[in-house]
Structure 1
Amino acid sequence: MYIYNVTTNIDESIHEQWLSWMQKTHIPQMMATGKFTNAKMCRVLIEEEMGGFTYSVQYATTSKETLQKYYEEDAPKLRQEGLNLFADKMLAFRTELEIVSEH
């Protein structure tokens, strides 16, 4: 099992709009690709020097191959939509995690 983690810092001026878009539009679109089994959205509980709010969204997937298909087939379009809407008011970075064990 793998986790595709997207951590995003959001400017305060668009926070509510971004949060609504993530929950009502973007995360459902990600799940609709059929490449993820579940998603968790978490608020990062540290104060950022740059200000704003930081969130981590973790999408679980069954294999590295499925994640690669997401990158090839879906990621460009889904990422571009966020950039079109929020441009320089958000900063995102992505990491891949492999689940070693669950307890």
Structure 2
Amino acid sequence: MYLYNVTLILDDAAADEWQQWMQESHIPEVMATGKFISNRLLRVVDSPNEGVTFCAQYVAETIEDYESYQANFAPALQHELNERFKDRYVAFRTLMEYID
């Protein structure tokens, strides 16, 4: 299994709006792709960064599911994020493999 982690650092003024949008719109859209089996949204408590740091995590059963998501869905979903929160966040994405 694979964990797709998206870490975002948001301006303080955008954090509440972003969190609501994630919970009500973005995460349901990501899950509706059928490429992930679970998700989690976390807030980093001890971040050394200015602003508010969140991690959105999605679990894919196979690397093919993740790659399909990246090829077929991620560009449009990331575009929507950028349109709504342009210049109010930075993001980085990592893919991790579970070790049994």
* Equivalent position of 1:6 in the other structure: 6
Q: Following TM superposition, by how much is the alpha carbon of 1:31 offset from its aligned partner in structure 2, in angstroms? A: 0.2
Alignment: residue pair count: 100
Q: Following TM superposition, by how much is the alpha carbon of 1:13 offset from its aligned partner in structure 2, in angstroms? A: 1.1
Sequence identity, in percent? 39
* Equivalent position of 1:89 in the other structure: 88
The runs of 4+ residues in structure 1 deviating greater than 4 Å are none
Q: Secondary structure at the match of 1:48?
A: coil
Map 1:26-65 → 2, pairs under 5 A: 26-49=26-49, 51-65=50-64
* Equivalent position of 1:67 in the other structure: 66
| Partner Cα distance (1:2, 1:100) in 2 | 9
Unaligned runs of 5+ in 1: none
Q: Secondary structure at the match of 2:47?
A: coil
**TM-score for the superposition, normalised by structure 2:** 0.96
Q: Following TM superposition, by how much is the alpha carbon of 1:45 offset from its aligned partner in structure 2, in angstroms? A: 1.5
